[in-house]
């Protein structure tokens, strides 16, 4: 196994632990800072921040950003040929998370918009990694094969 893929598997494990803790925390992880964020956005609007950037936008953008590493790591581990697996993993995992929140976490608010945002993030991560892998120049073999 290539060292890069081995590292990516460890990164995936760490990411999965953080994602699981964030997604399945009994209460929304942004509960403590929600009011502060809303106040900060209201103060920034007169300074030129567009009005459409509100709490709901920031929350949705956070969901997109949260799933970019999932798509990227899945493609990095499986390779360019399976770029679509990062998208599928994002959609599937997001659906499972939202279902778990619906069934077991009454203080959480599962929505289809979260599934869409999470899937968009995984898609973005998959496509960016596919682009990097496609544009990357192959590394020449450092040690040439020996012949007699």
Whether residue 142 is predicted with pLDDT greater than 80 in this model: the reply is no
How far is Cα 117 from Cα 110, in angstroms, rounded to an integer?
A: 12
Q: How many alpha carbons fall within 13 Å on the CB side of residue 80?
A: 8
Candidates 134, 139, 16; CA nearest to 74 is: 16
Q: What was the pLDDT predicted at 99? A: 97
The average pLDDT across 9-25 equals 93
Stated as kind and residue range, the H or E segment containing 112 is: helix 112-135
Q: What was the pLDDT predicted at 29? A: 82
Q: What was the pLDDT predicted at 136? A: 83
Q: What was the pLDDT predicted at 30? A: 82
**Residue owning tokens 């094969």:** 145
How far is Cα 37 from Cα 30, in angstroms, rounded to an integer?
A: 9
Question: pLDDT of 37-60, one tens digit each?
Answer: 889 999 899 999 999 999 889 999
Q: What was the pLDDT predicted at 46? A: 93
pLDDT bucket at 35, cuts 50 / 70 / 90: confident
The pair of three-digit structure tokens given for residue 120, joined into one six-digit string? 């968009």
Q: Which has more confidence, 146 or 8? A: 8
Domain ranges of the chain: 3-135
Question: pLDDT of 70-121, one tens digit each?
Answer: 999 999 999 999 999 999 999 999 999 999 999 999 999 899 999 999 999 9
Q: Which has more confidence, 106 or 148? A: 106
Q: Which long-range contacts (CB under 8 A, 24 or more apart) does 135-140 make?
A: none
How far is Cα 118 from Cα 40, in angstroms, rounded to an integer?
A: 25
Q: What was the pLDDT predicted at 132? A: 94
38: which residues sit within 8 A by CB, 6+ positions away?
A: 54, 55
Cβ contact 74:86 at 8 Å: yes
Helix (H, G, I), strand (E, B) or coil at 55: helix
Question: pLDDT of 115-140, one tens digit each?
Answer: 999 999 999 999 999 999 999 877 66
């Amino acid at each position: 196994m290539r060292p890069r893929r081995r590292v990516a598997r460890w990164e995936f494990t760490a990411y999965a632990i953080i994602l699981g803790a964030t997604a399945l925390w009994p209460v929304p992880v942004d509960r403590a800072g929600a009011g502060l964020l809303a106040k900060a956005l209201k103060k920034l609007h007169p300074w030129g921040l567009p009005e459409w950037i509100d709490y709901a936008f920031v929350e949705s953008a956070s969901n997109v950003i949260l799933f970019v590493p999932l798509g990227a790591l899945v493609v990095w581990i499986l390779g360019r040929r399976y770029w679509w697996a990062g998208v599928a993993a994002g959609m599937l995992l997001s659906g499972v998370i939202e279902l778990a929140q619906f069934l077991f976490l009454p203080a959480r608010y599962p929505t289809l918009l979260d599934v869409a945002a999470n899937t968009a993030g995984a898609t973005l991560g998959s496509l960016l990694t596919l682009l990097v892998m496609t544009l990357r120049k192959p590394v020449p073999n450092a040690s040439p094969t020996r012949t007699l």
